[in-house]
Amino acid sequence: MIKAVLRTSLGQTVVLLGLSGENVTRLMADEPIKVNLAELGMPPLQIAIVGGRTEADITAQLEQHFGPLPFTCPRCRRISHHPDDKRYGYCGHCHDYTGTPGGTR
């Protein structure tokens, strides 16, 4: 994997992650690729790269490796960690069923 930090002409930071065939094979075997930005001199932030055919596949893979994911309301973008909100697609802030049941969009 190629890892680099670049700056655009406007001074914005860009993290470049180049995946080789070996990395793509790992992704297709449902093995996430983990990157720690601290290794690149950036603030410590863990990134997990996963692959999948559908969003549901990716969500299942993430939950298998990292535990239950929160529900993010597609309308207001607020995050809920309550399992029933995710299960039913309910947003307490919007007081409405804004998401697809199960937490995928």
Question: With bands split at pLDDT 50, 70 and 90, how would you rate the model's confidence at 29?
Answer: confident
52-90 residue pLDDT tens: 778 788 888 888 888 888 888 989 999 998 888 888 889
Q: What is the CA radius of gyration of the chain?
A: 17
pLDDT of residue 100: 78
pTM more than 0.85 = no
Structural contact between residues 101 and 86, judged by C-beta atoms closer than 8 angstroms: no
DSSP letters for the chain: -EEEEEE-TT--EEEEEE--HHHHHHHHTT--EEEEGGGGTS---EEEE---SSHHHHHHHHHHHH-PPPEE-TTT--EE--HHHHHHTEETTTTEE-S-TTS--
